[in-house]
């Protein structure tokens, strides 16, 4: 069972929710797909957190075969190629590894080579298997790393919590692609509603069953809660605005491993999400 946790922007609390739900489970896999700024491992502090390089294919040119026809330059939609001063220049940083230019070159002047763009690391933290992806600074896309992370979990592994990248761009899409259920984390502000609206559109686009966790809740009006009521979105639970949560979280401590009262918040959230998945499966069978 794969549960993706996402939000319209960083700092909303998706790592707080995914880390604590994974830690509250009897056994779980936690995958940090926020590959541009992964931080889940800072909470879990996994042992034997070992790495595997992730590489993509990028083109390189044999100048002796290149006639300067520029067909590859015209073809590349990412402007990763330029022909200047009788020389083909390849901008590795913006190449998206589509391989099209290599196939297209009439002179067979282009070939492919490996380029490391980051790594994934895997380790154990008590009841949780932790998998984190790290994209090197300046790289065009973290999607190859996210694909590798998600495919490294065997079918039937049990509960998997996916900590998605913030926003609704292609890396967030890739992270929820195989999820059975999505949890949207929202703040109780007008900005919070705006960001919730973005990820709400995304999960609807992918026809993913979903529910909302309202974070940093105070007494009084909550525009994100109002949004959920108006759009008939299931509210899985609320996390209070709490000075102690802020302190523990900023010190990279896992709330449910620190105090029982936090397990009483996150374990019911987990149960509700699992029940929702079971209900969806029964409905669709
Ligand atoms: S398509 Fe081939 S021959 Fe033409 S400019 Fe590109 S590399 Fe050179
Ligand atoms: S592999 Fe694709 S993205 Fe990269 S340079 Fe060639 S055409 Fe452009």
The tens digit of pLDDT for each residue in 197-256 reads 999 999 999 999 999 999 999 888 899 999 999 999 999 999 999 999 999 999 999 999
Give the domain CATH number at 197: 3.40.50.300
User: pTM of whole model > 0.75?
Assistant: yes
Residues 129 and 216 in one domain: yes
Same domain for 205 and 158, yes or no, is: yes
139 Cα distance to chain centroid = 16
Task: Please tell me the residue having the least CA distance from ligand 1 atom 8.
Answer: 66
Residue 60: give the domain boundaries: 56-116
Query: Measured from the CA of 70, which atom of ligand 1 is nearest?
Result: 5
For residue range 251-266, list pLDDT tens digits in order. Answer: 999 999 999 999 999 9
Q: What CATH number has the domain bearing residue 102?
A: 3.30.70.20
Note the pLDDT tens digit of each residue in 35-65: 999 999 999 999 989 989 999 999 999 999 9
- Same domain flag for 65 and 138: no
Residues 104 and 203 in one domain: no
d(CA 272, CA 68): 61
Domain boundary among 101, 116, 131: 116
What are the tokens at 248? 């523990």
What pLDDT does 209 receive? 94
The number of the ligand 2 atom at minimal distance from the alpha carbon of 104 is: 7
Per-residue model confidence (pLDDT) at position 34:
96
Instruction: Name the closest-CA residue to atom 6, ligand 2.
Output: 101
Count of other CB atoms within 10 angstroms of residue 114: 10
Q: Domain check: are 260 and 138 in the same one?
A: yes
Cα–Cα distance measured from residue 276 to residue 204, given in angstroms and rounded to the nearest whole number: 16
Boundary of a domain, candidates 64, 83, 116: 116
- The distance in angstroms from the start CA to the end CA of the chain is 16
What's the number of domains the chain is made of?
A: 2
The CA 99 to ligand 2 mean position distance, Å, reads 6
Closest ligand to C-alpha of residue 140 is 2
- So what's the pLDDT on residue 281? 80
189 and 89 in one domain?
no
> How many whole angstroms separate alpha carbon 242 and alpha carbon 28?
26
Rounded mean pLDDT, 157-165: 92
List beta partners, residue 126.
none
How far, in Å, is the centroid of ligand 2 from the Cα of 41?
Answer: 33
Whether residues 251 and 159 fall in one domain: yes
Domain boundary among 116, 131, 147: 116
CA distance 112 to 62: 11
Structure tokens at 161: 């919590």
The encoded tokens of residue 87 equal 């020389």
CA distance 239 to 15: 13
Expressed in angstroms and rounded, the spacing between residue 98 Cα and the centre of ligand 1 is 16
In the structure, what pLDDT confidence band is assigned to residue 155 with cuts at 50, 70 and 90?
confident
What's the residue count for the chain? 285
Same domain, 102 and 125: no
12 and 136 assigned to the same domain: yes
Closest ligand to the CA of 67 = 1
Do residues 264 and 162 share a domain?
yes
What pLDDT digit, counting tens, does each position of 63-78 carry? 999 999 999 999 999 9
pLDDT at residue 282 greater than cutoff 90: no
Is residue 47 domain-shared with residue 63, that is, in the same domain? no
Both 89 and 136 in one domain: the answer is no
Whether 76 is in the pocket of ligand 2, judged by its Cβ within 6 Å, is yes
Query: What residues contact 227, with CB distance under 8 A and at least 6 apart?
Result: 186, 193, 196, 197, 200, 233
Residue owning the nearest CA to atom 8 of ligand 2: 76
What is the whole-number distance in angstroms between the Cα of residue 73 and the centre of ligand 2?
Answer: 9
Q: Which of 73, 74, 79 is nearest to 61 (CA)?
A: 73
| Ligand 2 binding pocket includes 110 (Cβ within 6 Å) | no
CA of 74 to the centre of ligand 1 (A): 10
């Amino acid at each position: 069972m794969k549960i993706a946790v996402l939000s319209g922007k960083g700092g909303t609390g998706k790592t707080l929710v995914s880390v604590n739900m994974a830690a509250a489970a009897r056994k779980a896999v936690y995958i940090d797909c926020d590959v541009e700024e992964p931080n889940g491992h800072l909470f879990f502090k996994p042992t034997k957190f070992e790495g595997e390089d992730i590489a993509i294919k990028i083109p390189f040119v044999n100048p002796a075969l290149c006639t300067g026809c520029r067909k590859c330059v015209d073809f590349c939609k990412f402007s990763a190629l330029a022909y200047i001063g009788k020389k083909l220049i390849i901008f590795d940083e913006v190449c998206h590894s589509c391989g099209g230019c290599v196939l297209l070159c009439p002179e067979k002047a282009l070939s492919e080579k490996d380029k490391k763009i980051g790594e994934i690391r895997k380790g154990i933290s008590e009841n949780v298997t932790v998998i984190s992806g790290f994209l090197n600074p300046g790289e065009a896309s973290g999607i190859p790393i996210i694909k590798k992370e998600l495919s490294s979990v065997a079918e039937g592994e049990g509960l998997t919590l996916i900590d998605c990248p913030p926003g609704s761009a292609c890396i967030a899409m890739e992270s929820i692609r195989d999820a059975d259920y999505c949890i949207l984390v929202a703040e109780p502000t007008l900005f919070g509603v705006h960001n919730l609206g973005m990820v709400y559109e995304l999960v609807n686009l992918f026809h993913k069953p979903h529910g909302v966790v309202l974070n940093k809740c105070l007494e009084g009006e909550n525009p994100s809660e109002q949004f959920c009521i108006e759009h008939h979105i299931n509210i899985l639970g609320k996390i209070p605005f709490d000075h102690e949560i802020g302190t523990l979280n900023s010190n990279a401590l896992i709330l449910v491993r620190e105090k029982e009262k936090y397990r009483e918040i996150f374990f019911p959230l987990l149960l509700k999400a699992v029940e929702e998945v079971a209900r969806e499966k029964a409905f669709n069978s």
